[in-house]
Chain A
């Protein structure tokens, strides 16, 4: 259901998803998703809780097994194009008591480029410092991550993603629980990345701001409700379909599938 004209060269398409069905603990949470995301856009994923937004991101990256369908990143399966994808997970997924400094975390973003036995070198540190500078966290470079506020933690994650120097960025709720200053800082960086031709897919939790932040929106509620430019897609009818809850049958049947399996 993509109204954007498809680009002919598959290697130029950042993400192509075909008939993606994903089950979580044996219960289907995403049904038959088709997506073709064009290059250089800022795309938001919105939908109610439990709609499968994080699941979509994780299955695109191959972190969850697919019940059916396939995913291609720049025309290849994910494993072949690992280095071109940057991932910013949810903040809760990490233990913030870990004995690493801000600089250590950002350097982790360089590991993909380094391979198995090499250590981060001077060039990597330079890049890390630049990324920290961009998110305005350079003064904290040697601080342990436990002492940071929520907004600061998010910026560190963003710096790590920047350090990956990817072409495609997948972010899971980067704006959740951050202060206004951090939010606008993150937005600025996203625009800068977009201007440089990068593609960003962002799971977003807040409906009103979605309209202003993103070029295109994916409306998701267990299945794809709509995907297209924000002005076309952000209307009452489609939002009603997304958030409206008329699809109780879908979730009931999903439960039935899980129970029958067990």
Chain B
């Protein structure tokens, strides 16, 4: 229940806030200043704009919530087929009274949409055609029938277009009081449905077989979800239009999907993104002159998605690039430490520090490059740089890490040659990569498994973990300890 409240409370708040604003008399609208317009839009004083705002909020909530389920179940294009399939129903609903009767249109559209999904199912199960072809077929066929019906009605109704063409690309300003009442009711139903059946929907979406085994009525739940989906599509038609309403289902939910790992948070985020896109879209179309609202809402939603895709903290492109970069830098530092160790080892662990020439020669680089590397080490507290003598000395932490990396490398080589039977001359490159990736737990397993061997396949000594992590005398930050100058 708490989750239900978390989702519904903000939405209900917005609902009440929007409808309880004062109705002010609006004189001639002559302001063209963007700020003035923004103020006018958001101050909720203009009743028709209030309607637009309310409508956007409602459709944002219902589409966002239901969209989560279809994105997670990989049924996004079912939403697309559904949204095109409702068109003939809209036309028939219109025919009922020859006026824009919201209830008749709603019923007609829902029936048409559900009929569409049933036809998709029928085609997939009785012919060789696969689901994607069936979806595309139903989508386009129903749409064609709908267009023909609509045009027929238009020519009958004479010059009075009766708002039917608004259904194609959406015009939120055309929402009437009756429309809003219907939208509120449906959004309420969606909220209640999702809230009550959250657990069941979650299980069915994740693992249908398991759900059935638990005794859940999966087919009923599926049809229920389809019904709610149809409702949500139909109420959003006037604002977003037939062609684009599926985007309002998919895009906010996909953006939420990229930002969280938990379903209830995804639902909340999707609802928020849906509302944001709806409102922003309505606002931008309002700035122009009688521009259709649908495309702007979709663009707003896609922008939100784009930002989540690029800047999402965990999965976003920027975050991943950053992590990749820090990883590359860490690998560089570890390779430098390794090189220093090798120089010291080559002279039998005698002598102090490593000179820039020795390091540059070891890594086959120029002196400048070697200096840059050591500066990088110094920045991370792993080594010190003696400018006078052009030498570097490892701090205790640096010495520890150097030995740990060399240990990893040689342990891995030993493992590959002895346990995995790989030829000794093949293992070096592997180890160059793996040494940076081995965690301490795996290393302990390796040491144990290899019986604490002390020599690698090339005869070099493997530093042991016990020896590396021995507490050193003196404080760790003291330059005098580690591998370097002693006072």
Interface positions of A (Cβ within 8 A of B): 1, 19, 21, 31-32, 34, 68-69, 97, 146, 222-226, 246-247, 249-250, 252-253, 256-257, 260, 262
Quick one: which of B375-425 are within 8 Å of A by CB?
Answer: 415-416, 419-423
Cβ–Cβ < 8 Å partners of A31 in chain B: 416, 420, 422, 430
A199 CB to nearest B CB, Å: 23
Residues A21 and B430 in contact in the complex (CB < 8 Å), given A32-B422, A225-B421, A260-B327: yes
Task: State whether B426 touches A32 (Cβ < 8 A).
Answer: yes
Contact with A along B443-455 (1 / 0, CB 8 A): 0011001000000
Determine, out of B250-258, B299-307, B434-442, the stretch whose residues face the partner at the interface: B434-442
Q: Does B429 count as interface, using CB distance less than 8 angstroms? A: yes
Cβ–Cβ < 8 Å partners of A19 in chain B: 423, 426
Task: State whether A253 touches B437 (Cβ < 8 A).
Answer: yes
Expressed in whole angstroms, the Cα–Cα distance for A222 and B449 within the complex equals: 18
Expressed in whole angstroms, the Cα–Cα distance for A198 and B436 within the complex equals: 45
Expressed in whole angstroms, the Cα–Cα distance for A142 and B416 within the complex equals: 53
Cβ–Cβ < 8 Å partners of B426 in chain A: 19, 32, 34, 69
Task: State whether A257 touches B437 (Cβ < 8 A).
Answer: yes
Cβ–Cβ < 8 Å partners of A1 in chain B: 421, 423
Chain B residue, CB-CB nearest to A256: B437
Expressed in whole angstroms, the Cα–Cα distance for A224 and B419 within the complex equals: 11
Q: Does B345 count as interface, using CB distance less than 8 angstroms? A: no
Q: List 10 A-B contacts (CB under 8 A).
A: A1-B423, A19-B426, A31-B430, A32-B420, A247-B420, A249-B419, A249-B449, A252-B442, A256-B437, A260-B437
Q: Across the A-B interface, give the 5 residue pairs with the lowest CB-CB distance, nearest first.
A: A32-B422, A32-B426, A223-B420, A19-B426, A97-B128
Q: Does B320 count as interface, using CB distance less than 8 angstroms? A: yes
Task: State whether A256 touches B422 (Cβ < 8 A).
Answer: no
Cβ–Cβ < 8 Å partners of A249 in chain B: 415, 419, 442, 445-446, 449
Quick one: which of B86-139 are within 8 Å of A by CB?
Answer: 128, 130
Q: Does B203 count as interface, using CB distance less than 8 angstroms? A: no
Q: When the two chains form the complex, which single residue of A21, A69, A146, A247 contacts B419, counting CB atoms closer than 8 Å?
A: A247
Main secondary structure of the interface of B (DSSP, over half): helix
Expressed in whole angstroms, the Cα–Cα distance for A223 and B418 within the complex equals: 12
Cβ–Cβ < 8 Å partners of B439 in chain A: 256
Expressed in whole angstroms, the Cα–Cα distance for A19 and B439 within the complex equals: 25
Expressed in whole angstroms, the Cα–Cα distance for A257 and B431 within the complex equals: 12
Cβ–Cβ < 8 Å partners of B430 in chain A: 21, 31-32, 68
Task: State whether A253 touches B434 (Cβ < 8 A).
Answer: yes
Task: State whether B320 touches A34 (Cβ < 8 A).
Answer: no
Task: State whether B421 touches A223 (Cβ < 8 A).
Answer: yes
Cβ–Cβ < 8 Å partners of A247 in chain B: 419-420
Q: Does B291 count as interface, using CB distance less than 8 angstroms? A: no
Cβ–Cβ < 8 Å partners of A146 in chain B: 128
Cβ–Cβ < 8 Å partners of A260 in chain B: 327, 436-437
Q: Does B72 count as interface, using CB distance less than 8 angstroms? A: no
Cβ–Cβ < 8 Å partners of B427 in chain A: 32
Expressed in whole angstroms, the Cα–Cα distance for A152 and B92 within the complex equals: 52
Task: State whether A253 touches B442 (Cβ < 8 A).
Answer: yes
Expressed in whole angstroms, the Cα–Cα distance for A31 and B423 within the complex equals: 11
Task: State whether B434 touches A257 (Cβ < 8 A).
Answer: yes
Q: Does B200 count as interface, using CB distance less than 8 angstroms? A: no
Residues A256 and B420 in contact in the complex (CB < 8 Å), given A21-B430, A32-B427: no
Residues A246 and B442 in contact in the complex (CB < 8 Å), given A253-B437, A260-B327: no
Cβ–Cβ < 8 Å partners of B421 in chain A: 1, 223-226
B124 CB to nearest A CB, Å: 12
Cβ–Cβ < 8 Å partners of B423 in chain A: 1, 19, 32, 34
Q: Does B178 count as interface, using CB distance less than 8 angstroms? A: no
Q: Does B369 count as interface, using CB distance less than 8 angstroms? A: no
Expressed in whole angstroms, the Cα–Cα distance for A1 and B423 within the complex equals: 8
Expressed in whole angstroms, the Cα–Cα distance for A225 and B419 within the complex equals: 9
A233 CB to nearest B CB, Å: 13
Q: Does B352 count as interface, using CB distance less than 8 angstroms? A: no
A112 CB to nearest B CB, Å: 29
Task: State whether A223 touches B422 (Cβ < 8 A).
Answer: yes
A106 CB to nearest B CB, Å: 22
Chain B residue, CB-CB nearest to A98: B128
B405 CB to nearest A CB, Å: 15
Task: State whether A246 touches B419 (Cβ < 8 A).
Answer: yes
Cβ–Cβ < 8 Å partners of B365 in chain A: none
Contact with A along B127-171 (1 / 0, CB 8 A): 010100000000000000000000000000000000000000000
Expressed in whole angstroms, the Cα–Cα distance for A17 and B442 within the complex equals: 30
Cβ–Cβ < 8 Å partners of B320 in chain A: 262
A27 CB to nearest B CB, Å: 12
Expressed in whole angstroms, the Cα–Cα distance for A224 and B106 within the complex equals: 65
A142 CB to nearest B CB, Å: 18
B327 CB to nearest A CB, Å: 7
Expressed in whole angstroms, the Cα–Cα distance for A225 and B437 within the complex equals: 24
B462 CB to nearest A CB, Å: 16
B466 CB to nearest A CB, Å: 20
Cβ–Cβ < 8 Å partners of A34 in chain B: 422-423, 426
Expressed in whole angstroms, the Cα–Cα distance for A146 and B127 within the complex equals: 13
Expressed in whole angstroms, the Cα–Cα distance for A246 and B449 within the complex equals: 10
Expressed in whole angstroms, the Cα–Cα distance for A262 and B323 within the complex equals: 9
B198 CB to nearest A CB, Å: 30
Chain A residue, CB-CB nearest to B441: A252
Expressed in whole angstroms, the Cα–Cα distance for A252 and B128 within the complex equals: 43
Cβ–Cβ < 8 Å partners of A32 in chain B: 416, 420, 422-423, 426-427, 430
Chain A residue, CB-CB nearest to B128: A97
Chain B residue, CB-CB nearest to A241: B421
Cβ–Cβ < 8 Å partners of A253 in chain B: 434, 437-438, 442
Cβ–Cβ < 8 Å partners of A252 in chain B: 442
Cβ–Cβ < 8 Å partners of A224 in chain B: 421-422
Expressed in whole angstroms, the Cα–Cα distance for A34 and B416 within the complex equals: 13
Cβ–Cβ < 8 Å partners of B130 in chain A: 97
Cβ–Cβ < 8 Å partners of B433 in chain A: 257
Expressed in whole angstroms, the Cα–Cα distance for A256 and B434 within the complex equals: 9
Chain A residue, CB-CB nearest to B415: A249
Cβ–Cβ < 8 Å partners of B128 in chain A: 97, 146
Expressed in whole angstroms, the Cα–Cα distance for A246 and B419 within the complex equals: 9
Chain A residue, CB-CB nearest to B434: A253
B347 CB to nearest A CB, Å: 32
Chain B residue, CB-CB nearest to A225: B421
Expressed in whole angstroms, the Cα–Cα distance for A169 and B421 within the complex equals: 27
Chain B residue, CB-CB nearest to A69: B426
